């Protein structure tokens, strides 16, 4: 296979001549480029004079936006362009780099390496020069040591990122338009990791729906033993273990009804029992290892309720630097890692912090060393830990936001706990049996007592297994009297829905995705409308189910767990220099092409050629591939009107729900004879304080709810409460006690009033159908009037008169403005239909 050829980036011409540097920067002999401005600020303070630190603000170059940008015939050679919004940044960096030593200190991962490679090329430097530095933590010592030891760009890391980017482009460029065609909906996408993660969520929901609960019964007994009362559960009957809803039922006794349980209870009443066995042992529970990216996201989800993307945003700030009295310093090490390795210096610092904070009794004899359980882990970075364990959460709390403090506290406690002694439990198990020749019934009582907290002193017991109540001390062989036995009914539970924590854990266990992809994947699923949140759980939407069903049917390898995990391993081999990246891309692309070729194409109703997704300045639409020979087009999102079961209040004909430019609305089926319309929304039960009309709950394009009157311009972006304002009687809105919406009321909260920007959006139609004065405002005279004149005879007389007056620049009344707007809409729709009706040449 031909080797890839990296074409020079376009759009990177030299900018204007550099300005004279300020006196403070004239002494800088080296330019250090990082990714984020916050990181640049922190590192500038640490390096001081002699260095100028600037930010690239993420990726500066990428594949083109509106074309594939990958030469499939020439070894998948990518074409890179400077991103439009980054052209000024690149020009500034070029000027700053002139005559200076260049150091590229982007994030220490594949993405950072690729950004560094692009920067080196764009700034006219050889990537093989020693110009790459890595900051695994943002502290003065580490930053200065890294700057003193630069290295060349690691081409293996660049190739690994390049292969992932090319794969994602090949998949997205071919699949995303296909999904939009199939489901007639905009902004749909598929991805190598994203689609498999969606399949996990969908299949879990299907398993929950297919689940059939199964009843089972247990027996709880109370015994008198040596003057003490002991509670125990029925464990075995004639040597058969009782099934308690978990594990395999084969060979176990399954009590399916209360009658069976009651029969056993009657059989054992009055029988003499004895203590058959007492076993007491010490149980040790080892601490968990320090955080990796996935375990941090899991713990932040379960303990703090943070989503994966929120966790990573906060962690990024903690890594980049916080202003403390002693200076700016990063509080944690780099937060994208799948390794549990910790440096010897950090281990020693942790032991000192443990001794100081909790005492020497909590220190093990030697430092704990953890190994990754999963194969193929990249060990480039340490685990996520505090840069200095002596900085306690309470000590830095005044300099952090509340969410930063909570996440730092979690990371600090986990790291110290990982180097502390085990928790010690005294566990006791007591077995009681009837005293027949061949014992028939065996009851079991178990309990444990925490004898030494160990690592739990730092980590806490939240999320840990619940302790069992202690068992009274009894002697083996002692007589036991059954005081009572009670049957208890249970049903099996379906598997739980995924949360951020459990989905990330499942992806990690299956080998799908890598630390840098977990949070963006979950964010994309929610943004595309494939999943929605209910509390902390993730539910697939109907669209998410349909997309998964379609991909499983048409592209089984794209969403196959094993195939995706195997591809991740192959991509990791590129990073290790064990596989050429074009070959790995071809291993995925070849079977994908085979599946793509089997997908039936949607055809043009005029000429029979395939339809394709096209983009204009008005958005996406479907067009014939035979253009310009065939000019057939149709809207992408095409929904048929549906009856809502109501009659039009004007003419009595059925009302329909239709899809318009700004969402759904209710209209009369007798249009254009009857032009009755109203907003489509869920009734809230509230009446409008302005006109007495119904207040409806609607949703914006981004899915956020808002509340508006169906008859006037009353609008609220906050839910209305059931209690009115005591001062004026208007409804209160917001959370808790609420605030008054009435601008004339002394109790009014100005924050509840829509901003001027929101008002303009509402008036222009971007926030929904215009209301009140905004609706009645006169439109501008039409610039395409000459094209509309041929269709004037089709208008009713009053509408024709109004629109002709508008075209001549006359002032219109409120009613005239409404008629003119309606007429313009009809004329332009008729003009569009006329164009489509023209026979193809």
Q: Which residues are catalytic?
A: 334
Q: What angle do CA 468, 469, 473 make, to 5 degrees?
A: 120
Q: How far apart are CA 251 and CA 256, in angstroms?
A: 15
Q: Residue 715 to residues 13, 379, 509, 688, 793: CA-CA distances in angstroms?
A: 49, 55, 48, 9, 38
List own/partner pairs for 433-439 with CB under 8 A and 24 or more apart.
Answer: 433/273, 433/274, 433/276, 434/268, 434/271, 434/272, 434/273, 435/271, 435/272, 435/273, 435/274, 436/271, 439/276
Contact between residue 167 and residue 588 where contact means Cβ atoms under 8 Å apart: yes
Contact between residue 720 and residue 733 where contact means Cβ atoms under 8 Å apart: yes
Where residue 204 falls (left for φ over 0; alpha for ψ -120 to 50; beta otherwise) is alpha
CB neighbours of 557 closer than 8 A, spacing ≥ 6? 563, 591, 592, 595
Q: How many CB atoms lie within 10 A of CB 693?
A: 16
User: Residue 100's Cα: distance from chain center in Å?
Assistant: 41
Q: How far apart are CA 444 and CA 221, in angstroms?
A: 10
Q: Residue 5 to residues 455, 587, 746: CA-CA distances in angstroms?
A: 54, 19, 69
Q: Omega before 628 cis (within 30°)?
A: yes
Q: How far apart are CA 389 and CA 366, in angstroms?
A: 18
Q: What angle do CA 670, 671, 672 make, to 5 degrees?
A: 130
Q: What angle do CA 313, 319, 322 make, to 5 degrees?
A: 100
What's the first-to-final CA gap in the chain, in angstroms? 44
Q: How many CB atoms lie within 10 A of CB 270?
A: 8
DSSP type of residue 291 = B
Q: Rg for the chain (alpha carbons), in Å?
A: 34
Q: How far apart are CA 358 and CA 456, in angstroms?
A: 11
Write down how long the chain is: 841
Q: No. of H helices and E strands in the chain?
A: 23, 32
Q: Residue 474 to residues 156, 229, 478, 479: CA-CA distances in angstroms?
A: 66, 10, 7, 10
């Amino acid at each position: 296979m031909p080797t890839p050829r990296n074409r020079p980036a376009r759009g990177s011409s030299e900018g204007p001549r550099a300005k004279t540097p300020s006196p403070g920067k004239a002494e800088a002999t080296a330019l250090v480029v990082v990714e984020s401005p916050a990181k640049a600020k922190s590192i500038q303070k640490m390096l001081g004079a002699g260095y100028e630190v600037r930010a690239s603000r993420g990726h500066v170059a990428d594949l083109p936006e509106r074309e594939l940008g990958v030469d499939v015939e020439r070894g998948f050679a990518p074409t890179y362009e400077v991103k439009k919004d980054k052209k000024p940044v690149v020009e500034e960096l070029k000027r700053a780099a002139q005559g200076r030593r260049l150091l590229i200190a982007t994030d220490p991962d594949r993405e950072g390496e690729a950004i560094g490679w692009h920067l080196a090329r764009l700034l006219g430097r050889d990537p093989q020069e020693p110009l790459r530095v890595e900051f695994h933590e943002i502290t003065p010592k580490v930053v200065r040591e890294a700057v003193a030891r630069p290295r060349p760009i690691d081409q293996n890391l660049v190739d690994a990122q390049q292969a992932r980017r090319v794969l994602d482009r090949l998949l997205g460029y071919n699949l995303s338009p296909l999904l939009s065609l199939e489901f007639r909906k905009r902004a749909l996408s598929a991805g190598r990791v994203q689609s498999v993660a969606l399949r996990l969520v969908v299949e879990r929901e299907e398993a929950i729906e297919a689940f059939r609960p199964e009843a089972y019964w247990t027996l709880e007994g109370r015994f008198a033993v040596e003057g003490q009362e002991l509670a125990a559960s029925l464990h075995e009957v004639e040597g058969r273990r009782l099934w308690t809803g978990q594990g395999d039922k084969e060979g176990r006794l399954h009590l399916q009804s209360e009658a069976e349980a009651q029969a056993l209870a009657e059989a054992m009443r009055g029988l003499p029992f004895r203590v058959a066995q007492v076993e007491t042992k010490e149980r040790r529970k080892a601490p968990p290892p320090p955080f990796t990216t996935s375990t941090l996201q899991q713990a932040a989800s379960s303990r703090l309720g943070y989503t994966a993307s929120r966790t990573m945003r906060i962690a990024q700030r903690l890594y980049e630097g916080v202003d403390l009295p002693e200076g700016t310093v990063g509080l944690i090490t780099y937060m994208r890692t799948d390794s549990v390795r910790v440096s010897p210096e950090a281990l020693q610092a942790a032991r000192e912090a443990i001794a100081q904070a909790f005492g020497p009794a909590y220190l093990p004899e030697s430092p704990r060393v953890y190994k990754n359980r999963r194969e193929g882990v990249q060990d480039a970075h340490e685990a996520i830990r505090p840069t200095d364990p002596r900085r306690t959460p309470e000590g830095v709390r005044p300099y952090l936001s509340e969410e930063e403090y909570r996440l730092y506290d979690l990371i600090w406690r986990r790291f110290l706990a990982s180097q502390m002694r085990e928790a010690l439990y005294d566990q006791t198990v007591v077995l009681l049996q009837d005293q027949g020749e061949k014992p028939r019934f065996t009851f079991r009582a178990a309990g444990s007592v925490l004898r030494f907290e160990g690592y739990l002193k730092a980590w806490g017991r939240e999320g840990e297994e619940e302790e069992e109540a202690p068992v009274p001390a009894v002697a083996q062989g002692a007589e036991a009297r059954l005081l009572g036995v009670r049957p208890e009914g249970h049903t099996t539970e379906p598997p739980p829905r995924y949360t951020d924590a459990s989905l990330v854990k499942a992806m990690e266990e299956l080998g799908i995705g890598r630390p840098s992809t977990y949070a963006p994947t979950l964010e994309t699923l929610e943004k595309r409308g494939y999943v929605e949140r209910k509390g902390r759980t993730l539910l697939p939407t109907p669209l998410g189910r349909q997309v998964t069903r379609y991909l499983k049917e048409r592209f089984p390898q794209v969403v196959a767990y094993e195939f995706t995990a195997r591809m991740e391993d192959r991509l990791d081999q590129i990073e290790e220099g064990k596989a050429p990246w074009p070959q790995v891309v071809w291993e995925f692309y070849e079977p994908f092409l085979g599946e793509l070729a089997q997908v039936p194409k949607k055809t043009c109703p005029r000429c029979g050629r395939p339809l394709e997704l096209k983009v204009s300045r008005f958005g996406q639409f479907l067009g014939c591939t035979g253009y310009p020979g065939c000019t057939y087009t149709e809207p992408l999102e095409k929904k048929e009107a549906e009856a809502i079961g109501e009659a039009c209040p004007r003419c009595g004909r059925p009302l329909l729900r239709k899809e318009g430019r700004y969402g759904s609305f209710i209209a009369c089926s007798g249009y254009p004879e009857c032009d009755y319309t109203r907003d489509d929304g869920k009734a809230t039960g509230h009446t409008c304080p302005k006109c007495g009309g119904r207040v409806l709950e609607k949703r914006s394009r981004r899915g956020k709810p808002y509340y508006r009157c169906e008859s006037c311009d009353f609008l609220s972006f906050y839910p209305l409460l059931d209690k009115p304002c005591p001062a004026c009687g208007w409804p209160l809105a917001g959370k808790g006690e609420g605030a008054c919406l009435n601008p004339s009321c002394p109790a009014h909260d100005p924050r509840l009033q829509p901003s001027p920007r929101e008002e303009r959006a509402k008036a222009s139609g971007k926030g929904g159908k215009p209301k009140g004065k905004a609706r009645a405002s006169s439109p501008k005279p039409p610039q395409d009037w000459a094209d509309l004149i041929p269709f004037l005879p089709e208008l009713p007389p009053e509408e024709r008169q109004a629109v002709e007056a508008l075209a001549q620049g006359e002032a219109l009344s409120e009613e005239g403005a409404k008629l003119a707007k309606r007429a313009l809409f009809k004329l332009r729709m008729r003009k569009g239909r006329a164009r489509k009706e023209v026979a193809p040449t």
